[in-house]
Chain A
């Protein structure tokens, strides 16, 4: 019952949170000194043309009316038209989502495959040389500016050594889009060349994105393992004479990993924020690069669409994580 009321409480707040987010972004986009209609009409537009654009986009109405109209449109799945691509925002976001999704998934995979085993090793061999080395590496990984790290990787691996492509997602013709994930599509099409190209383009951005996430995973997993090892239940099992191997594999790892799972929301946030920068540096045609370009071009509808989309995704993932956490450990549910 407690769990259900927690979920219900979070669900009730879902819509107001998104509305608040919309209000913030909307206010931002309307206090600018630049006239959006003027921007959309182009530099050489006449006064009448600008006026027409203003009426077409509803910029001539009072702000609260504009906001209500916008909320009504969004509720119907209409985010408006991008002033630069001239496409509905929903289409723009939909075509770019798979690229970001693919990059993020690969980064999560790298972060988990590297971070969890290393974190467990550090936790089990506390204060060993490995623990000390990895502490330096993880603290450093969280202190590097990702755009700079990305540039250094580009410099070394594509400009100097020529091993990997500088930017982009694919060279030559992309495979027939089915899922939008290039690697998967290339596999479906059985196109080995496209698959190799997609993977080669993926390595540098995915590694850049995975670095801070992997550092976070190592730290949480390590602390989780240490917390469990020091717990009374493990002391009891040791006293009962269970072999160390059984204790570690059967109890410590399982309990420690649930602690890591609950940090997924944080890790997702790191990745999403990272994607904005990494996609920009690597010309990766995803949501992050789209957002930066839209912001720099004052394309408000696009910015609002992106913010809402990310916000909804983020709130939703945090809700899932909270539900998961409450299900695993009912003590924290409130």
Chain B
């Protein structure tokens, strides 16, 4: 309860939580909130590239579809994409980090070296290469993002586990005859959960930016998927006339990433006092 109160006093974190709440509402209720829910697939050439007006709040795109409606459905794609990608990266990275950090041997060194190789090039380059190799589709974007982001969690969990390894409570659990499995899952994991949760929130923001970049470069889902990055790419040839076309999806990406970053910062302050940003 105390944690919730402290979180609520932090205005920035609260703003982050609000933005994420709106995003989730938009994603869940898109079919009911959207004024033209069929415009994800329908097109009306006679209404193409209309400026924002009461009947199309954010204007229409090159196919005459309502941008606001497509934006709402785009929230679904964004959340699903980042959620699955980050979830898979966690599922790969956390066990590797735990095992490599708990057993200190040549094998853990090797595991961490592999992680560092993945971190040796900018994530976006690796993600573009993987997505292009596999062909443009949402599944492949998710795969590309999971494969490029797991080392971040592996390295974090590895460092945390190593420092836990020497804690007295871990030593006593081992001395009492607890199996390594039991020590890792019941004693170490709960104690390193905070930094993992914090990094997951901030990682969601980074993943959404990368996913949007892949969409922008044409490596994401094929049209007419209402993916935000792709919508911005489509708008390029209609500048400077259709100024509204890229505006809404760009702001949507910005608010989403901002939401995850502020939320993550707020979580860090209440969960992980060691790395607390100095206020």
Contacts and interface: CB of A to CB of B under 8 A. Distances in A.
Interface of A: 13, 16-18, 20-21, 24-25, 28-29, 31-33, 126-127, 135, 139-140, 142-149, 151-152, 154-155, 159-160, 222-223, 226-227, 230, 269, 272-273, 276-277, 280, 291-292, 295-296, 298, 303, 306-307, 310-311, 314-315
A160 B239 CA distance: 10
Those 5 A-B pairs whose CB atoms lie nearest each other, nearest first? A273-B122, A159-B240, A148-B250, A20-B117, A143-B257
Contact of A13 (B12, B113, B129, B135): B113
A222 B278 CA distance: 9
Given A21-B120, A227-B278, A280 B250 contact: no
Grouping DSSP codes into helix (H, G, I), strand (E, B) and loop, the A interface class, with mixed when no group exceeds half, is helix
Interface of B is mostly: helix
B104 to A, nearest CB: 13
B121 A310 contact: yes
Interface in B232-279: 232, 235-236, 239-240, 243, 246, 249-250, 253-255, 257-258, 261-262, 265, 277-279
Contacts of B253: 145, 148
Contacts of A145: 209, 212-213, 216, 229, 232, 250, 253-254, 257
Contacts of B229: 145, 147
Interface in B102-160: 113-114, 116-118, 120-126, 128-130, 132-133, 135
23 contacts: A20-B113, A21-B117, A21-B120, A31-B133, A140-B258, A143-B254, A143-B258, A145-B213, A146-B213, A147-B213, A148-B246, A151-B235, A151-B239, A151-B250, A152-B250, A155-B239, A160-B240, A223-B277, A277-B213, A291-B125, A295-B129, A310-B122, A314-B121
A297 B30 CA distance: 36
B108 to A, nearest CB: 15
A315 B122 contact: no
A261 to B, nearest CB: 19
A32 B133 contact: yes
A277 B210 CA distance: 10
Contacts of A269: 122
Contact of A311 (B113, B121, B257): B121
